[in-house]
Structure 1
Amino acid sequence: MSRPAGRVLTLLELLQSGGTRTVAELADRLGVDGRTVRRYVDHLLDLDVPVESVRGRYGGYRLAPGYRLPPLMLSDDEALAVLLGLVAGRRAGLTTTGHTAGETASAKIRRVLPAHLAHRLGTLLDSLAFTERPGECAAPDSGVLLTLADAVRHRRPVSLRYTDREGRRTERTLHAYGIVAHSGRWYVTGTDPGIGEDRTLRLDRIADARALPGTFEEPAGPDPAQRVLSGFATAAYRHEVTLRIQGTVEQIRVHLPAAVARLTEHEPVADEDRADEGRADERWLRVDLRAERLDWLPPVLAALDRPFVIERPEELRHLVVALAGRLASHATAPAGDAPAS
């Protein structure tokens, strides 16, 4: 492809990104002068591409509204990135209720690719294996997702019809601060102005969302992702667990991430002062978490392999002691003995 032809296609790509582009901006992006930009625009007009000229101080060129864009022109790397992104999104559960949209989009892209590239990418996708099972989470409605995204951007209140995990249906207003994808699910986080408290809601449980008049100011504080993680760590569950663990934040977070536990500084008591010295940056940290079950925690504490104190509940102490007894019995069993059932 000749350089002028390539620049004309680059000009079209710039105009396809939307908005009005000034002659100076286009000239800078294309590496030519303003006169050459106007000549390239004439080439597009000759090809029946409806480029409009906008007059005024902030004038320039733009594509006519409603113009149906020609097929995408993707390089090998771009095509691979798009197709892998579609595959990864489907497997991670980050799709909408139009769950076939990703498959049809992938098929359309593969159909318009050059034969040699389509064959190579098809070979890669057919050869690709994953170590994790595909995500099976419920998907949100695409209309709800787009309405909430617009509300977040323009700081507009939204009215929602929501079904909680107990099956209760309510209609509520939300000042949405952000949309967060976490572990194969979509969440929206914000403030319920009716009660003045933060709320994190699953998008697949929202049946309808509509924008309301007015705007709101987002308060200072954690970003949306951190709000969602903090909400998980403090949600209501059957057991409330409080631990004191000696170590670094990094050591603890490997086994108890922010979505599971909340860490705070803790002033050690006398007995803790006599615990292992460890590294200079290790200190006693308070760990708070909530869980429906406790049986997964003793193996986590064993894997953490740091000094710890269980403040509550008493049931967790018994589970840790029982695990320690089983490990000790297995370690001291004579070689060749069959393990007890």
Structure 2
Amino acid sequence: MSEPSSRMLALLSLLQVPRDWPGTLLADRLGVSPRTIRRDVDRLRELGYNVAALRGSDGGYRLDAGSQIPPLLLDDDQVIALTVALQVVPALGADIGDAADRALATLRRVMPSRIRHRVAGFTVTAMPANQNADLVAPDVLRVLASASHAHEIVRFDYQTGPSRRVEPHGVVASNSRWYLVAFDLDRNDWRSFRVDRIIPKMPTGLRFSPRPTPGGSAVEFLRRRFRGSDDGEWSCVGQATMHIDASAIAPYIGDGSVEDLGTDTCRVQLGAWSWNAVAAKLAQFDADFEDASPPELQQAVVRLGARLSAGGR
């Protein structure tokens, strides 16, 4: 890789991986001498990148944060990733749509023609966030995410209850909604909070030592909370044979499974927080089904059928 600009772009791409890079390893990766690497590092520093030199027999480099944003050198795949990410912002439920549109317009203006043609094929339209949830203000996200990172106790008003005082452990996005996973100090238990219902108060400045999050992470905690189980698995899982082609229901099976048995017949497995909910999931498909198991699901199907029959009178 002899072209200086292409080589510097490749060097910067490697340095953006958060690790210490021996100079000899960088030279081997790029097919140049360690002296050339030293010259390219100097050029990156002139552009504003804070590349730290590491001591040692081999020497090395690490890309650190600087005092200002230097010119961004992105490879083609990174540009495409940014373009797609900025286009799906409306589905995130955060009030940053205008900023994303401006960032996308800026990015498109400076794209080389070769990348612009590739990106043209990645034009997507994202459905707006859940209409039942208010858009989350970016300042609220920033406060909660920063407090989670800094292990700082947060106080806030909550729309569906009294004020809270919590130890934040993570902000999670799921299905166009944002959630704060935190340990509630007043209730001495773990809780999840809708971020669009949070009104932060003044920072407390009080630090805490992070507790082990149930499940190992904020994401896993929230997944288990949604499923109503301690292990993250559905508490009720059932099966049934359905008289419909597997391909007709596969796109709507969610986290269940479908086995094609041929001749417009398939075996589905679905999970939910209750047997009534599993029965309702089976009933959502416009198809007859039989051989439901286990017995708890069979009983739930009978109850659901009686309820629907009574409601249709």
- What band does the TM-score fall into relative to the shorter chain? 0.5 to 0.7
Contact 1:234/1:289, CA 8 A, preserved across alignment: no
Could you tell me whether the CA contact under 8 Å between 1:247 and 1:282 is conserved in 2? yes
RMSD: 4.7
State whether residues 164 and 184 of structure 2, in contact with CA within 8 Å, keep that contact through their aligned partners in structure 1. no
Greater shift after overlay, 58-67 or 29-38? 58-67
Which of 291, 299, 320 is equivalent to 2:308?
320
**Does 2:17 match 1:31?**
no
Could you tell me which residue of structure 2 aligns to residue 145 of structure 1? Answer: 141
Partners of 2:302 and 2:17 lie apart in 1 by 57
Instruction: Give 1:159's aligned residue.
Output: 154
Deviations along 1:130-160, one digit per CA (max 9) or x if unpaired, are: 7xx4224423232332343344455x24313
> Are 2:215 and 1:221 equivalent residues in the alignment?
yes
Larger radius of gyration: 1
Q: Which residue of 1 aligns with 2:98?
A: 100
**Larger relative contact order (Cα-Cα within 8 Å, sequence gap ≥ 6):** 1
Q: 1:240-279 residue pairs with structure 2 within 5 A?
A: 245=238, 247=240
* Gapped regions of structure 2 (runs ≥ 5): 230-234, 242-248, 257-265
Q: CA deviation at 1:101?
A: 1.3
CA distance in 2, matches of 1:25, 1:146: 37
After superposition, give the CA deviation of every residue in 1:25-78 in whole Å (9 maximum; x if it has no partner): 533443333222223234456x65566664644864656822431144442x44
Cα distance change, pair 29–118 in 1 and its aligned pair in 2 (3 A): same
In the alignment, the residues of structure 1 paired with residue 288 and residue 128 of structure 2 have an alpha-carbon distance, to the nearest angstrom, of 29
State the distance in 1 between where 2:9 and 2:28 align: 15
Distance in 2, matches of 1:256 and 1:44, equals: 47
TM (norm. structure 2) is 0.66
**CA contact 2:48–2:71 (8 Å) conserved in 1:** no
User: Aligned AA for 1:201?
Assistant: F
Counterparts of 1:33 and 1:62, CA distance in 2: 20
- Give the direction of change, closer, same or farther, for the CA distance of 1:207–1:299 in structure 2 (3 Å limit): same
Residue deviations 1:176-212, cap 9 Å, x none?
2x33222111112232133222211111222227463
Q: Give the C-alpha shift of residue 161 in structure 1.
A: 1.0
Between the aligned residues of both structures, percent identity stands at 26
Write the letter of the residue equivalent to 1:68. I
Q: 1:263-302 alignment to 2 at 5 Å?
A: 288=274, 299-300=283-284
**Which residue does the alignment assign to 2:188?**
196
What do the CA deviations read for 1:297-332 (whole angstroms, capped 9, x no partner)? 783387583533446997x45323348x89xxxxxx
- Specify the alignment match of 1:110 in structure 2: 108
Kindly provide the amino acid, as one letter, of the partner of residue 107 in structure 1.
A
Q: Please give the alpha-carbon distance, in whole angstroms, between the structure 2 residues aligned to 1:290 and 1:145.
A: 37
Change over 3 Å in CA distance of 1:303–1:205 after alignment to 2: farther
After TM superposition, give the deviation of residue 222 of structure 1 in Å.
5.9
Please give the alpha-carbon distance, in whole angstroms, between the structure 2 residues aligned to 1:10 and 1:169. Answer: 53
Alignment of structure 1 residues 47-126 onto 2, 5 Å: 49=48, 54=53, 56-57=55-56, 60=61, 62=63, 65-75=66-76, 77-90=77-90, 92=91, 94-115=92-113, 117-118=115-116, 121-122=119-120, 125=123
Show the counterpart of 1:174: 167
TM-score normalised according to structure 1 size: 0.61
TM-aligned CA deviation for residue 119 of structure 1: 6.1
Distance 1:286 1:297, change over 3 A: closer
Q: Which residue of 2 aligns with 1:332?
A: none
- Of residues 287, 299, 305, the one that matches 2:289 is 305
Match of 1:212 among 206, 210, 228: 206
